[in-house]
Structure 1
């Protein structure tokens, strides 16, 4: 529960669990919320921070030689190497230690790629497919990337158009942007329950709770 306890209070987690229970009380669908701090470590982008640090080191040397100590004349090669390598090393250390710096260089395409990959892994690892009528739904939330994916199992995907999950995604994204993650997740879960009811995924007489109601802890990769 390391990551969940970092971002949610016990009361938040209880309300999310209750929302799942309430949503599933009207449908045979099984809703599985999953919260990951990030979908990839992006450590390879620390090198781009290092390149930026080297460029800034070179720029600092230029400023010093032109405006601080103009008596240098030509910049000694050893100074150029020293400033650039020092800037690169500082950039590499900071880029490795601070994910927010790496994030500056990550394209939306790459973020989507890793989120999609990790969401599919979560679907399998959490065995969302393990329901009698294949009515599981994974709500995958990747906090670092601010990306949400809804992955319905085959029975649900045949009934509910993919475009109808956009509102479920929007509710969580808006919650993250406003600083109220719990409210966004709760609203999204309840919306999913209503959406399943709308499309006729009704609760069966012998319905059982096949997947637990707790939000899953996706851990951290940062």
Structure 2
């Protein structure tokens, strides 16, 4: 099965649907909505080291006991020979690698990626401080919504849990594009009351970022 990446998760037609959903939502409000899809929020090198070390240790102990009389001089070369292939294997088996990472660490890294991306993409520079980032991080299977302070001053943070749920459930049921479009529309609904569109509004940010 081909692994989905940020560049391949949507076909051209789906990209157009998402961009159209953003335009439609932004036509009803002064807010700026940016969906961002990334392969991963962090590369988690510690998970690779710990996982490779564990599997290499188990392999070396078993083989040295079976064929080397439990000699440390047999164990050490076997451990070193097994370590690097296992580390490479973990890089290509994201499902296994993810199981070696504590959920708390994953949540923290996704949140940090959202904060950094918010700044990098210039969402903090919108005129009325009404930027919204919808981050989809594929490796972690996580969605994080981050809104600028102009919005958070009026919309409770708990409101974004609904958006996260919509996108997360869509990903689980292989309806990522549809779910993202629904979530974008819901953001437009939430913002329309507090931040109606102004006569001189302009589209300040990209409507879809795949990075």
Normalising by the residue count of structure 2, what TM-score does the alignment of the two structures yield?
0.87
Alignment check: 8 A CA contact 2:64 2:74 kept: no
Q: After the TM superposition, which segments of 4 or more aligned residues of structure 1 sit over 6 Å from their partners?
A: none
* CA distance, structure 2, for counterparts of residue 179 and residue 63 of structure 1: 46
Aligned partner of 2:153 in structure 1 is 158
* CA distance, structure 1, for counterparts of residue 101 and residue 176 of structure 2: 23
Aligned partner of 1:210 in structure 2 is 204
Could you list the runs of 5+ residues in structure 1 that have no partner in the other structure? 66-71
* CA distance, structure 1, for counterparts of residue 204 and residue 88 of structure 2: 46
* CA displacement, residues 60-79 of structure 1 (integer Å, 9 cap, x when unaligned): 337846xxxxxx8x534433
* CA displacement, residues 78-98 of structure 1 (integer Å, 9 cap, x when unaligned): 333344443334323323444
Aligned partner of 2:180 in structure 1 is 185
Residues 81 and 10 (structure 1), Cα distance of their counterparts in 2 relative to 1, 3 Å cut: same
Aligned partner of 1:68 in structure 2 is none
* CA distance, structure 2, for counterparts of residue 207 and residue 5 of structure 1: 30
Count of residues in correspondence between the two structures: 207
| Alpha-carbon offset, residue 203 of structure 1 | 1.4
Indicate the SS of the match to 2:125: coil
Alignment check: 8 A CA contact 2:7 2:210 kept: no
* CA distance, structure 2, for counterparts of residue 122 and residue 175 of structure 1: 23
CA RMSD of aligned residues (A): 2.1
For the pair shown, the structure with the greater C-alpha radius of gyration is 1
Q: Is 1:130 matched with 2:125?
A: yes
Could you list the runs of 5+ residues in structure 2 that have no partner in the other structure? none
Normalising by the residue count of structure 1, what TM-score does the alignment of the two structures yield?
0.83
Indicate the SS of the match to 1:159: coil
Aligned partner of 1:51 in structure 2 is 53
Alignment check: 8 A CA contact 2:32 2:131 kept: yes
Alignment check: 8 A CA contact 1:94 1:101 kept: no
Alignment check: 8 A CA contact 1:43 1:102 kept: no
